[in-house]
Structure 1
């Protein structure tokens, strides 16, 4: 009988312990559910610098209120289509300062290149005329003179080409440093061209003599211009 009483007491203590443990865990769970959460955009994977963000590269993640960075993006649409300015680590919050839209990119030349174009630089030692007056943002036509057989031909090979940089100057509102310190014959111009235009320009630069024709700011029309030969001067 004595042993039976001990078993009953032990059973009661066990039941009481289980009850209090259950109450404690229920209270902890209840307190946990009281934590307010908010949603931020984080990197779903490691992303290198200068990468165009896609939907697969970002995801939404809930974090406790107060732990989100003040500049954190809140919706995937705020990140998709933008370009990373610095590398991103998987799981880190995406901040406004870490990405840039196409209209608000960095100051480097790579960020100034229009979509679908490439940047090609040419030495203007062979370019005279308006070379000393050209600045970033201006648009030009490219004229080339080549020896073809026993005669020379002058032809317009490219039209309405944007100048991205004059020397090291990318700012259309600032005079080129090279223009201030060097003669115009030593200036370098960087043009925005397609791959096909780059091929034509490179060939013309190597094989011919190039001139740039400055276009007016409102001039958008291109024209059909046939090659002009030496004999045409006397017709």
Structure 2
């Protein structure tokens, strides 16, 4: 009887130990799961509702409700001027539409600086940054890059004219402005279809650049050179070529004319009666 009791006690102790071991394992797994959940929760980024555009929009297009949708955007990377309410984009008290001021790509956040206020006209002044001015440059098929200029392109401006005077007068071509932005071609500040020969292009420049371009345009000819879309290379502004550099001619040396030596004349004064006369005589040192 005692043996049976001892055997039962041993079996009970074994079962109890196994249960404790299993319980300990389950508790450990539960703690690990809680730790992983807390770590994942800590990694969750706080977001904010932001409206983005559903298609690529060009300058001058009218913004419609189907052109925007709401997405969750990281709070730490919110762009300035975003919209978080559809009523802020399309107010209920007006049917006036907003107009796109700058190109917007699909799924890009809709910002206040890229659209007009409801009912506002998207004029040329809306494309000028603070402190910038619009200046028109006369162009033709050769100086205007054969009609391939578009609003938003960047160009380098070259001046060609005469410098010096007399025998030193020569034709010079000089780079006077770099990476100037075009904001209009002829009377269009929006998309220009195909190659069109423009008569004028309008650039956005500072007041100091306006003075330089106006002086250059009145004293010579201006030519434009199109800058590549992804070209961020800084070009030195002291590029200048004249006729002698272009043709490889040597500088002409101007020989000064010999000075004319004045002939020395010697005279003596003599009296002839009541008259005094000067008579020339050979000069002696």
TM-score by length of 2: 0.43
Cα offset, 1:159, TM superposition: 0.3
Partner of 2:188: 169
Partner of 1:29: none
Tell whether 2:123 aligns with 1:108: yes
> What are the residue-to-residue correspondences of 1:64-143 with 2, within 5 Å?
101-105=112-116, 106-125=121-140, 128=143, 130-143=145-158
Match of 1:206 among 218, 227, 245: 218
Tell whether 2:247 aligns with 1:234: yes
Gaps in structure 2 of 5+ consecutive residues: 1-79, 82-92, 99-110, 249-285
Cα offset, 1:197, TM superposition: 0.9
Q: How has the CA–CA distance of structure 1 residues 203 and 194 changed in structure 2, closer, same or farther, with 3 Å as cutoff?
A: same
Matched residue SS, 1:102: helix
Aligned residues: 138
Q: How has the CA–CA distance of structure 1 residues 190 and 218 changed in structure 2, closer, same or farther, with 3 Å as cutoff?
A: same
Gaps in structure 1 of 5+ consecutive residues: 1-76, 79-92
Contact conserved, 1:165 with 1:189, CA < 8 A, in 2? yes
Cα offset, 1:122, TM superposition: 1.8
Contact conserved, 2:157 with 2:178, CA < 8 A, in 1? yes
Pair member with larger Rg: 2
Partner of 1:147: 162
Q: What are the Cα deviations for residues 120-169 of structure 1, in whole angstroms up to 9, with x where unaligned?
A: 11221485351411010110000111110101111000000000001111
Cα offset, 1:221, TM superposition: 2.0
Partner of 2:177: 158
Contact conserved, 2:141 with 2:147, CA < 8 A, in 1? no
Q: How has the CA–CA distance of structure 1 residues 129 and 109 changed in structure 2, closer, same or farther, with 3 Å as cutoff?
A: closer
Tell whether 2:249 aligns with 1:218: no
TM-score by length of 1: 0.51
